[in-house]
Amino acid sequence: MKTINNFKSRVNALLLMIFTMGTSALAFAQETTTGSGTVTTEQKTTTTTEWYTDPMYIIGGAILLIIIIALIARNGRSRA
């Protein structure tokens, strides 16, 4: 049993080393160079967000829903 655990830990260490080396190789591979120099381009983009992606609307809607449910529950208890 000790041999199996030792083997598993060594295999895990080997896989971790391979993964680390692979990711570092990919990170270095992302750098691009041009023969005559660096070319930079500038773009201006306008981003718009929809109202339903704003967290304040979601929080406000949740509070409003809780208030409505509380009022309905309160109104139901007073009749009984």
Task: Determine the residue type at 76.
Answer: G
The average pLDDT across 7-30 equals 86
Give how far Cα 12 sits from Cα of 1, 6, 18, Å.
17, 10, 10
The average pLDDT across 1-14 equals 88
Tokens of 62: 């949740």
In which band, very low, low, confident or very high, does the pLDDT at 27 lie, cut at 50, 70 and 90? confident
Which residue ranges make up each domain of the chain?
2-29+50-79
Q: For 30-67, what is each residue's pLDDT tens digit?
A: 666 655 666 678 888 887 778 778 889 989 999 999 99
Which residues, in sequence order, are CB contacts of 51 under 8 Å at separation 6+?
A: 57
| Cβ atoms of 36 and 30 closer than 8 Å | no
CA distance 33 to 20: 24
Looking at the predicted structure, is the pLDDT value of residue 79 above 60?
no
pLDDT at 32: 62
Task: Determine the residue type at 17.
Answer: M
